[in-house]
């Protein structure tokens, strides 16, 4: 189950590395005033809109994150949505290396980046406080950078687009973008966390995953250890 044909692998990996370098440069050059202005615009838009405030407050809770997780899982589980019925188990198993690579890298980047208070900390007394509508709403953090929330969505959406075989896979991109927005409105993350921080967390695991063809290698490993009934006939790999 090679996600990218061999003849394109080096070009795609190089493109990811270039984009990663641009994110690093952007992170250092991006003016802090842009972050402040963006948050004031996004959060300020909620003023006088009680229904939107309630919806956005719920969208910043763990309950909503759990529902979003079910939506992400549906792209693996529902036959014909993003993945053909006969390939679903292979695509799910192939995603395991991505998850294993992501978590330690996310923790390392978080430790190296140090503390950075989120908008909810900086503008605590001068913002629409969504946590007053829903006590479970996440509106502030001492470790705003990077946006691991968006990084998870980038890894998931990229994998679905590359591994999927049905037209529905392209829905993963707008869904990932939409699910990234609540933290920006509520105060959990700065815009720069999403634009630069999340790619810094998401891209290195993806580059390793693709360059070393880890989904296919992990599938080979799983084939020798999982019961055959759990593994349908193997789909043909890309050349």
With a pLDDT cut of 70, the percent of the chain lying above it is: 93
Q: Is residue 239 very low, low, confident or very high in pLDDT (cuts 50, 70, 90)?
A: very low
User: What pLDDT score was predicted for residue 85?
Assistant: 81
* 89-116 mean pLDDT: 84
Residue-level pLDDT at 171: 97
26 vs 19, 30, 145, CA distance in Å?
10, 5, 14
Give yes or no for a contact between 209 and 162, defined as CB atoms under 8 angstroms apart. no
Res 100 pLDDT > 60: yes
Q: What mean pLDDT comes out for the span 132-137? A: 90
Average pLDDT over residues 78-84: 91
- Give dist(CA 71, CA 77) in Å, integer: 10
The C-alpha atoms of residue 140 and residue 131 are separated, in whole angstroms, by: 9
Mean pLDDT, rounded, for 189-194? 92
Q: Which tokens belong to 204? A: 């290195």
What pLDDT, on the 0 to 100 scale, is given for residue 166?
Answer: 93
Instruction: Return d(Cα 153, Cα 13) in angstroms, integer.
Output: 19
Tell me: pLDDT of 78 over 70: yes
pTM above 0.85, yes or no: yes
pLDDT at 216 over 90: no
Tell me the per-residue pLDDT of 139-154, one tens digit each, with 9 for 90 and over. 988 888 878 889 999 9
Q: How confident is the model at residue 18 (pLDDT cuts 50, 70, 90)?
A: very high
With pLDDT > 90 as the criterion, what percentage of the chain qualifies? 49
pLDDT in tens, 26-63: 888 889 999 999 999 999 999 999 999 999 999 999 99
Question: For all residues of the chain together, what is the average pLDDT?
Answer: 88
In the CATH hierarchy, which top-level class contains the domain 6-230?
A: mainly alpha
């Amino acid at each position: 189950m090679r996600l990218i044909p061999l003849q394109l692998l080096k070009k795609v990996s190089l493109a990811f590395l270039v984009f990663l370098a641009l994110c690093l440069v952007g992170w250092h050059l991006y003016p802090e005033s842009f972050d402040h202005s963006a948050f004031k615009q996004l959060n300020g838009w909620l003023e006088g809109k009680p229904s939107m405030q309630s919806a956005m407050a719920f969208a910043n809770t763990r309950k909503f994150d759990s529902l979003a997780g079910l939506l992400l899982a549906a792209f693996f589980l529902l036959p014909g949505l993003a993945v053909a019925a006969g390939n679903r188990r292979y695509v799910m198993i192939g995603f395991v290396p991505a998850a294993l690579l992501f978590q330690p890298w996310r923790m390392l980047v978080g430790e190296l980046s140090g503390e950075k208070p989120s908008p909810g900390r900086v503008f605590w007394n001068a913002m629409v406080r969504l946590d007053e509508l829903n006590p479970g709403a996440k509106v502030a953090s001492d470790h705003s950078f990077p946006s691991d929330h968006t990084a998870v969505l980038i890894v998931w959406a990229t994998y679905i687009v590359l591994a999927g075989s049905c037209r529905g896979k392209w829905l993963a991109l707008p869904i990932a973008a939409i699910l990234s927005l609540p933290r920006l409105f509520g105060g959990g993350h700065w815009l720069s966390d999403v634009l630069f921080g999340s790619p810094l967390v998401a891209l290195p695991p993806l580059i390793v995953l693709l360059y070393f063809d880890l989904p296919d290698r992990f599938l080979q490993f799983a084939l020798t250890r999982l019961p055959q009934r759990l593994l349908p006939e193997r789909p043909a790999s890309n050349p």
